[in-house]
């Protein structure tokens, strides 16, 4: 290998080399770079066919991808745009500094926007189109820490007042007018479109949004257009697995509607991103290898003369050799330091700057701060066809902050500046604020009729209107099918046994038949369609494939063959829950982003949902997403053979923590039907900003007919499944509660109690302990705040108020799940909760339920124990149950076993 490297890296015949280079330059001058590239590829191919080992170099020289003579020229007024950019920089700084001079230590970030101001300014002035009658609008994923700069632009445009700017990070005191710390659509529903500051979530969402736009186009739901998704991220953010984990999808599907802009300021929160390496080179290789068009914007225009005079190639060599830690030091320590430590490494490079002053050297700018270089890169990106583009823009963290933070390791957390630092910032950007006002760091607005503001407004008018802006509702709503349309699953199955997963798939198929709603349904799977019995959809509606199906599938002779289609409706996202969830988010927010309401169903192993991709689930709430998340093979004991890593006992606790998630754990098919119908009504017809989490099981059993009048109780989260009838005098009675598959054990336990001990039981199905809990705390809160008004009765309290005996609840989830409603038990009613605390494991369902103490025998025993404490039965009855039901008194607590 060393010998090969020597041959590759040494010039054995400089004269021959020069002749080849001259020949190649002649081809470029005569036929263009594409022809030259073709010839080079042919030569490489010939060498490899001859047995030569040619390692692939995924990176290019550490210079700008677009040569200066090929740069598209900006049509803007550079002088006015510099003044605008300077004013925005000042007001962004003022927003954060003023906030942190108030009591409360509100925090905020200056340095991220300081490094990326030019990247945003060029986009706002020349490229980013707002939704209008003429264009559907671009989508911008703003880097979260740059929010103050976006607010500062809106302030100059007249969209935000000075009072609002002073409510930065004061959303409670602002009473609806406060400015959120980062992009949060939930808190600013008319402004921000996507939440991005949880690092890594912006990039993966952007990729799947781009895919979903193509999906909508290919299915004829939106017209084809040149709209783009622009995703901003920091170079340090690339370490998040979600940032780069899906870029191969974008390359594979040729998503030319997607542009990443990576702000390479070489620093993350604590120090250099790659102090001993070069993050721009690393990212270039990663993206090029994934099929992206990579555009490097490394050096600003002041470097062009130096590079033009670099006839020896030593400057380019030096640029490649220098690591990011050194580049950071050069910007931190100034021109003299850069002359000595950078240019001084070689006589040739020292000579290049011999006639330049230290100030001249310090002013050598990085590409991300040069609007001309940035414009040329953006222009090339929007005109790229057939592949996504990444722009790697080199910048300085804390640009303009001088000694207060420019290119310094602590710059990210800088939020306070003293008067001297503020004076230096003012002078550098020529802000007309007098010395006697500096202490208060005032906002500066040149006036709505000023040249700067009028220029900004004219540019935005030309691009369709103001950004950011968010659409709250789609123009068109869709009526939910009547409950009668779900008759196949509201009626019982008789002797036939099916799972709730199969009932769900039947419900989806019924909805797909609806001529209006059907095309809006988006089934999404992460390579588990057959697990969930959805393979019938492959043939029925097809799997989306942007280029169609180019092969004959192995199972083509079967009825339910694997059918891919450019107009396919199913999104099969492979083995990636994060990818499936990001695709779901794209569909679930399509009503806002594309004015096209869609109803996505993402079906996955429930253990791999809110636990594994919980950050995306939380972002879905922030984005006001609408759709169904389906936790399949749910519960600790129903997925009997899979074991600890797969068996879910707590997803409902996680889903219940997100305010706008409506969660259900249904047992019977008719419960699913009611939930599907009502959820569709709320999300597609009423356009409420909620999304649903349903858990379904793979256990087969018979399903009864829907009890008359149960619909309201199902939706509220609890209803009487079986009334034991009027209680006889002194007859012991219990209230048994359950959900999901364990409700069937509750029903069986009631039979045991009646048969073996003469105890009657009312049976309650509780499809949503989470909804019942929310109702209870709503009532409790209202009562505390209205002590002299008629007190509200929590829903569950009213249901159980006139019922006798203790209550026992059992579910396939940890005890905390059913324990959520303890506070709302009627006064004096004892409440016992059984659950599957502990790690899951592999075994039969019967053995698992016995192990976790949630089967019919343990439920019956718990009921007798509660009755004994109430004095309704004696302790001997409890002991007899232990003996007859063969309960092991000495078994370890399953929480620790």
pLDDT at 138 over 90: yes
Query: Within a 10 A sphere around the Cβ of 75, how many other Cβ atoms?
Result: 8
* Bond preceding residue 468 cis, omega within 30 of 0: yes
CA 227 to chain centre: 21
Q: Given this model, what pLDDT does residue 402 score?
A: 64
Residue range 466-490, pLDDT digits in tens: 999 999 999 999 999 999 999 999 9
pLDDT at 412 over 70: no
CA distance 667 to 703: 9
Lowest-pLDDT choice from 39-53, 346-360, 512-526, 869-883 = 39-53
pLDDT at 303 over 90: yes
Q: Is the pTM of this model over 0.85?
A: yes
What are the structure tokens assigned to 857, written together? 């025998």
List the one residue out of 809, 597, 637 whose CA is nearest residue 718.
Answer: 809
With cut-offs at 50, 70 and 90, classify the pLDDT of residue 659.
very high
Q: Given this model, what pLDDT does residue 9 score?
A: 60
Mean pLDDT for 107-135 is 92
CA distance 559 to 505: 18
CA distance 237 to 149: 19
The DSSP H or E segment spanning 460 is: helix 451-462
CA distance 250 to 43: 29
pLDDT at 403 over 70: no
Mean pLDDT for 625-640 is 93
Tell me the C-alpha to C-alpha distance, in Å, between residue 342 and each of 90, 311, 339, 367, 403.
31, 18, 6, 18, 21
Main-chain dihedrals φ then ψ at residue 565, nearest 5 degrees:
-155, 145
SS3 state of residue 287: helix
Task: Identify any residues that bridge with 525 across adjacent strands, giving them in sequence order.
Answer: 572, 603
SS3 state of residue 102: coil
Q: Given this model, what pLDDT does residue 492 score?
A: 95
CA distance 225 to 581: 25
Q: Given this model, what pLDDT does residue 124 score?
A: 98
pLDDT at 48 over 70: yes
Q: Given this model, what pLDDT does residue 323 score?
A: 95
Main-chain dihedrals φ then ψ at residue 871, nearest 5 degrees:
80, 20
Cα angle value 607/612/615 (rounded, 5°) = 135
Alpha helices (H) along 821-872: 845-851, 856-869
Q: Given this model, what pLDDT does residue 796 score?
A: 98
Residue range 530-574, pLDDT digits in tens: 888 888 888 889 989 999 999 998 888 887 788 999 999 999 999
**Residues 808 and 761 sit within 8 Å (Cβ to Cβ):** no
Mean pLDDT for 384-409 is 81
pLDDT at 411 over 60: no
Average pLDDT of the chain to the nearest whole number: 93
- Helix and strand totals (H; E) in the chain: 37, 18
pLDDT at 349 over 60: yes
Looking at per-residue confidence, does 559 or 183 come out higher?
Answer: 183
With cut-offs at 50, 70 and 90, classify the pLDDT of residue 6.
very low
Task: Identify any residues that bridge with 391 across adjacent strands, giving them in sequence order.
Answer: 261, 295
SS3 state of residue 488: helix
Among residues of the chain, what percentage have pLDDT more than 90?
Answer: 80
What are the structure tokens assigned to 619, written together? 């972002």
Mean pLDDT for 339-367 is 95
CA distance 17 to 650: 67
pLDDT at 5 over 50: no
List the one residue out of 835, 760, 837, 824 whose CA is nearest residue 798.
Answer: 824
DSSP class of 701: B
Looking at per-residue confidence, does 7 or 854 come out higher?
Answer: 854
Residue range 826-851, pLDDT digits in tens: 999 999 999 999 999 999 999 999 99
Lowest-pLDDT choice from 33-42, 199-208, 404-413, 860-869 = 404-413
CA 322 to chain centre: 36
Lowest-pLDDT choice from 390-404, 680-694, 700-714, 856-870 = 390-404
Residue range 588-598, pLDDT digits in tens: 999 999 999 99
Q: What is the dihedral of CA 314, 315, 318, 324, to 10 degrees?
A: -170
**Residues 499 and 741 sit within 8 Å (Cβ to Cβ):** no
Strand duo 760-765 + 719-722: pairing: antiparallel
What are the structure tokens assigned to 344, written together? 């001084």
CA distance 570 to 576: 15
List the one residue out of 162, 136, 144, 156 whose CA is nearest residue 217.
Answer: 136
pLDDT at 620 over 90: yes
For the beta sheet containing 760-765, the strands, ordered from the edge strand earlier in sequence to the opposite edge, are 719-722, 760-765, 733-738, 807-810, 831-834
Strands (E), 65-150: 139-141
CA distance 353 to 842: 71
With cut-offs at 50, 70 and 90, classify the pLDDT of residue 40.
confident
The DSSP H or E segment spanning 796 is: helix 795-800
Residue range 307-319, pLDDT digits in tens: 999 999 999 999 9
Residue range 757-788, pLDDT digits in tens: 999 999 999 999 999 999 999 999 999 999 99
Residue range 447-468, pLDDT digits in tens: 999 999 999 999 999 999 999 9
Q: Given this model, what pLDDT does residue 410 score?
A: 54
Mean pLDDT for 720-725 is 96
Residue 892: which residues within 8 A CB-CB, separation 6 or more? none
Q: Given this model, what pLDDT does residue 260 score?
A: 98
Tell me the C-alpha to C-alpha distance, in Å, between residue 141 and each of 55, 230, 292, 559, 562.
36, 6, 19, 43, 35
Residues in the chain: 897
């Amino acid at each position: 290998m060393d010998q090969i490297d020597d041959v590759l890296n040494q010039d054995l015949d400089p004269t021959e080399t020069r002749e080849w280079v001259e020949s190649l330059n002649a081809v470029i001058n005569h036929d263009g770079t594409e022809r030259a590239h073709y010839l080079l590829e042919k030569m490489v191919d010939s060498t490899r066919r001859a047995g030569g080992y040619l390692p692939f170099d995924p990176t290019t020289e550490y210079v700008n991808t677009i040569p200066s003579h090929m740069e598209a020229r900006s049509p803007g007024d550079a002088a006015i745009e510099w003044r605008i950019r300077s004013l925005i920089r000042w007001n962004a700084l003022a927003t954060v500094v003023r906030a942190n001079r108030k009591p409360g230590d509100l925090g905020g970030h200056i340095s991220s926007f300081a490094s990326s101001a030019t990247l945003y300014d060029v986009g706002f002035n020349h490229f980013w189109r707002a939704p209008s009658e003429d264009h559907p609008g671009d989508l911008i994923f703003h880097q979260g820490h740059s929010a103050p700069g976006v607010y500062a632009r809106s302030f100059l445009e007249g969209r935000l007042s000075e009072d609002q700017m002073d409510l930065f990070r004061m959303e409670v005191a602002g009473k609806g007018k406060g400015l959120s710390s980062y992009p949060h659509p939930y808190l600013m529903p008319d402004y921000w479109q996507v939440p991005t500051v949880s690092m890594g979530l912006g990039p993966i969402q952007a990729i799947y949004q781009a895919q979903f736009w193509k999906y909508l186009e290919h299915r004829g739901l939106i017209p084809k257009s040149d709209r783009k998704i622009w995703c901003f991220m920091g170079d340090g953010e690339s370490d998040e697995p979600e940032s780069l984990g899906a870029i191969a999808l974008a390359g594979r599907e040729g998503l030319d509607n997607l542009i990443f802009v990576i702000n390479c300021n070489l620093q993350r929160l604590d120090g250099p991103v790659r102090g001993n390496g070069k993050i721009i080179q690393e990212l270039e290789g990663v993206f090029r290898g994934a099929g992206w068009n990579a555009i490097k914007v490394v050096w600003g225009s002041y470097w062009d003369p130096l590079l033009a005079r670099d006839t020896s190639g030593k400057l380019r060599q030096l640029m490649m050799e220098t690591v990011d830690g050194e580049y950071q030091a050069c910007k931190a320590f100034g021109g003299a330091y850069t002359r000595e430590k950078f240019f001084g490494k070689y006589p040739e490079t020292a000579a290049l700057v011999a006639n330049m002053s230290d100030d001249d050297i310090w002013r050598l700018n990085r590409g991300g701060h040069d609007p001309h270089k940035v414009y040329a890169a953006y222009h090339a990106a929007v005109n790229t066809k057939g592949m996504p583009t990444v722009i790697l823009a080199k910048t300085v963290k804390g640009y303009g902050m001088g000694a207060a933070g420019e290119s310094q390791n602590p710059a990210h957390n800088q939020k306070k500046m003293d008067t001297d630092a503020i004076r230096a910032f003012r002078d550098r950007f020529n802000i007309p604020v007098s010395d006697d006002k500096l202490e208060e760091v005032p906002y500066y607005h040149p006036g709505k009729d000023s040249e700067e503001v009028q220029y900004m407004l004219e540019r935005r008018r030309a691009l369709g209107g103001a950004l950011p802006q968010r659409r709250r509702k789609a123009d068109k709503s869709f009526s939910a099918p009547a409950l009668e349309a779900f008759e196949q699953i509201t009626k019982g199955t008789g002797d036939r046994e099916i799972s709730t997963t199969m009932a769900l798939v039947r419900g989806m198929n019924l909805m797909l038949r609806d001529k209006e709603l059907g095309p809006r349904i988006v089934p999404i799977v992460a390579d588990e369609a057959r697990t969930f019995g959805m393979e019938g959809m492959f043939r029925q509606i097809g799997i989306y494939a942007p280029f169609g199906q180019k092969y004959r599938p192995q199972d083509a002779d079967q009825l339910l063959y694997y059918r891919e289609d450019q107009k396919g409706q199913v999104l099969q996202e492979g083995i990636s829950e994060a990818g499936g969830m990001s695709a779901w988010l794209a569909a679930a927010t399509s009503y806002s982003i594309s004015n096209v309401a869609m109803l996505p169903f993402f079906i996955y192993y429930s253990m791999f949902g809110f636990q594994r991709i919980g950050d995306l689930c939380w972002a879905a709430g922030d984005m006001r997403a609408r759709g169904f998340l389906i936790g399949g093979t749910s519960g600790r004991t129903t997925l009997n053979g899979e074991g600890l890593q797969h068996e879910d006992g707590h997803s409902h606790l996680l889903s219940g923590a997100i305010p706008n998630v409506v969660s259900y754990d249904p047992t019977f098919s008719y419960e699913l039907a009611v939930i599907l119908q009502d959820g569709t009504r709320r999300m597609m017809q009423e356009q409420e900003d909620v999304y649903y989490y349903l858990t379904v099981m793979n256990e087969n059993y018979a399903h009864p007919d829907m009890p008359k009048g149960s619909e309201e109780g199902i939706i509220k989260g609890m209803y009487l499944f079986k009334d034991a009838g009027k209680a006889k005098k002194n007859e012991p009675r219990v209230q048994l509660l359950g959900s999901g598959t364990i409700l069937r054990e509750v029903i069986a336990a009631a039979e045991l109690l009646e048969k073996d001990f003469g105890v009657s039981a009312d049976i309650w199905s509780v499809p949503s302990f989470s909804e019942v809990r929310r109702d209870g705390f709503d009532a409790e809160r209202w009562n505390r705040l209205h002590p002299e008004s008629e007190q509200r009765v929590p829903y569950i309290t009213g249901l159980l108020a006139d019922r006798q005996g203790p209550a026992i609840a059992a579910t396939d989830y940890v005890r905390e799940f059913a324990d959520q409603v303890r506070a709302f038990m009627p006064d004096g009613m004892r409440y016992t909760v059984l659950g599957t605390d502990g790690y899951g494991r592999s075994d039969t369902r019967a053995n698992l339920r016995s192990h976790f103490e949630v089967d019919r025998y343990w439920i019956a025993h718990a009921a007798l124990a509660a009755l004994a404490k109430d004095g309704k039965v004696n302790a001997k009855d409890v002991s007899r149950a232990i003996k007859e039901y063969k309960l092991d008194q000495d078994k370890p607590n399953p929480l620790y076993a």
